[in-house]
Amino acid sequence: MRTEELAELAQQLRVDAVRAADAAGSGHPTSSMSAADIAAVLFAHHLRYDFDRPDHPANDRFVLSKGHASPLLYALYRAVGAVDEDELLTYRTLGSRLEGHPTPRLPWVDVATGSLGQGLPVAVGTALAGQRLDRLPYRVYVLSGDSEMAEGSVWEAAEHAAYEGLDNLTLVVDVNRLGQRGPTRHGHDLDAHARRLRAFGWHTVEVDGHDVEALDAAFTEARSTTGRPTAVLARTRKGRGVGAVEDREGLHGKPLKEAGAAIAELGGVRGARVRVHAPPDGEPPAVPRGTALELPRFDVGDEVATRTAYGHALEAVGSALGRVVALDAEVSDSTRTEFFAKAHPDRYFECYIAEQQLVAAAVGLAARGYVPYASTFAAFLTRAHDFVRMAAVGRAGINLVGSHAGVAIGPDGPSQMGLEDLAMFRAVHGSTVLYPCDANQTARLVAAMAGLDGIRYLRTTRGDLPVLYGPDEEFPIGGSKVLRRHDGDEATIVAAGTTVHEALGAADALEREGVPVRVVDLYSVKPVDAGTLREAAAETGCLLTVEDHHPEGGLGDAVAEAFADGRPAPRTARLAVRGMPGSASPQEQLHAAGIDAESIAAAVKLLVERVIAR
């Protein structure tokens, strides 16, 4: 396209953004208008993408990190012929694919955006896939706003991208000076952004974001820069092209009051079509044919930490499935991801102490068709909760593994104890939450996770635990195991992970005292085995849940939900970590929290006595 045509295309994008927001009665047209010239130049001259084949392996990738500017994205889709006029005007209406912030309901959207500061971190994962796995020349473009450059996750991503030398990654920052409530931290000071990015090792280009020729040259320069990523810092004006709103405060997230006049000022409705450059021919290297899955096998009675079993199982799954990748946050010697790293170094990604980037990179790799397992301490995954939440919004399929869970880690103290993780992951839409109690169970669940959809979370323990199950035992997702059962059971103890072993010790002690109890290993915390729980409740009348976790949102709540359909609920009690732990040995921690065998036995007797008294 000639310069004049690019400028006309930008005006068309502005008009369509105004029209879409006006039809919806909501949206962010002014944020879209500032970036229209950037988008016009990128799509008309530089992006290589087959909109009829969004799964083409050599397609460039475009991530709209400033997801509130979705009217601009949908205007682009109209310009390339991917959506029509009628669909454009369904923006933000019930059932429309054109949601307020873009999601992969649209086949050309790889990841959900809208929570600011996530686009660049996820794009780093996608760029890593292109550089190290696909080994194809596609580029990854990210359009960010200047407000989100205040997010710490952006700088985790900036450092990681520079460290990895991701010269296939281009960040465009729409520096339009205005955020939601007023001016941004740095306003129109492009050099303030450039200094920081250059300090992280980026190549930077500063341009007038409404000069299409300068933008064209900037994108060309980005493509020719090698060895490091490029940031194009574009000075723009919010609401560009309409005098009543241009560079004015107080108009963020509002449709234009006089949309008709604004459209006329922008030159009226247009219907130009853009022919986006086709991607080059190319296919990623063939995925190596995997070996038959041979999970590690552990002998009953041996003592093995479930984190160790996870590491060996992940190595085996990686040998069987060539699209499995592993990521870690510089604790691979603790999470045992190091076993995978040594066996499959080409598919291992070290993210260092940057948990937001860890999860974001997993999402970006999943968007390219890989099956990621990302591991760190359970406690530190809480830092990345927003990335987990948005991964679910984006229908991403990722495996997250939290080690060193619960008070049973011992003397390290509460800063290292994952005591909120079950609640966090149970609350994620469509998630699967697993908490194995022994090595063979862990191995089977690690393998099963590879074939699941959505967010999958596995909780592992630091200390060695006795192996209870044989290596050929099956553990279906949504199932449980009944480890003790008698005809006259007076109560049921429901446990998972560490507390299964304590529950068994309590059951043995109670049986010696003439109090038979049932013990259920609820390794699948979500989905929960409601059938087994209801049967146990009907036959024993009492349920006691025991968890190495805070009482809110964990195992006890998962069990309670099995009886939330209106049927009569059994008498229940909960043992959980209710106080703030200090430093102590693992067994001292369990006793202090009231979740060891002695405490469980005492609670059962009290529960049974109360039932008899009634």
For 167, residues 6+ apart whose C-beta sits below 8 A from its C-beta are 225, 226, 227, 228, 229, 230
Q: Which 3-state string (H, E, C) describes 185-247?
A: CCCCCHHHHHHHHHHCCCEEEEEECCCHHHHHHHHHHHHHCCCCCEEEEEECCCCCCCCCCCC
Write the DSSP assignment of 380-430 as a string of letters. GGGGGHHHHHHHHHTT--EEEEEESBSGGG-TT-GGG-B-SHHHHHHTSTT
Provide φ and ψ at 494, rounded to 5°: -110, 120
Amino acid at the residue 100 = G
Write the DSSP assignment of 288-343 as a string of letters. PPPPPP------TT-EEEHHHHHHHHHHHHHHH-TTEEEEESS-HHHHSTHHHHHH
Output b/e per residue, 228-244; b: 16+ Cβ within 10 A.
bbbbbbbbbbbbbbbee
In angstroms and rounded to an integer, the radius of gyration of the C-alpha atoms of the chain is 27
How many Å apart are CA 163 and CA 325, to the nearest integer? Answer: 19
CA neighbor of 368 nearest in space, from 122, 95, 76 = 122
Active-site option among 151, 156, 355, 502: 355
What number of residues does the chain have?
614
For 544, residues 6+ apart whose C-beta sits below 8 A from its C-beta are 491, 492, 493, 494, 572, 573, 574, 575, 600, 603, 604, 607
- Give the largest CA-CA distance in the chain: 90
Determine the distance from the C-alpha atom of residue 522 to the mean position of all C-alpha atoms in its chain, rounded to a whole number: 25
Determine the distance from the C-alpha atom of residue 537 to the mean position of all C-alpha atoms in its chain, rounded to a whole number: 36
Three-state SS at 74: helix
Q: Which residue has the tokens 């299409």?
A: 212
CB contact at 8 A, 403 and 334? yes
Q: Which two tokens stand for residue 235?
A: 């000075």
How many Å apart are CA 33 and CA 251, to the nearest integer? Answer: 12
How many Å apart are CA 525 and CA 479, to the nearest integer? Answer: 9
Q: Which residue has the tokens 């250059």?
A: 198
List of E strands, 460-523: 464-466, 481-484, 492-495, 518-521
Q: Determine the Cα angle at 169 with ends 77 and 226, to 5°.
A: 135
Any catalytic annotation for residue 513?
A: no
CA neighbor of 400 nearest in space, from 356, 345, 444 = 356
Residue 6 Cα distances to 3, 14, 290, angstroms: 5, 13, 49
CA neighbor of 133 nearest in space, from 310, 326, 395 = 326
Q: Which residue has the tokens 């601009």?
A: 72
Residues involved in catalysis: 355
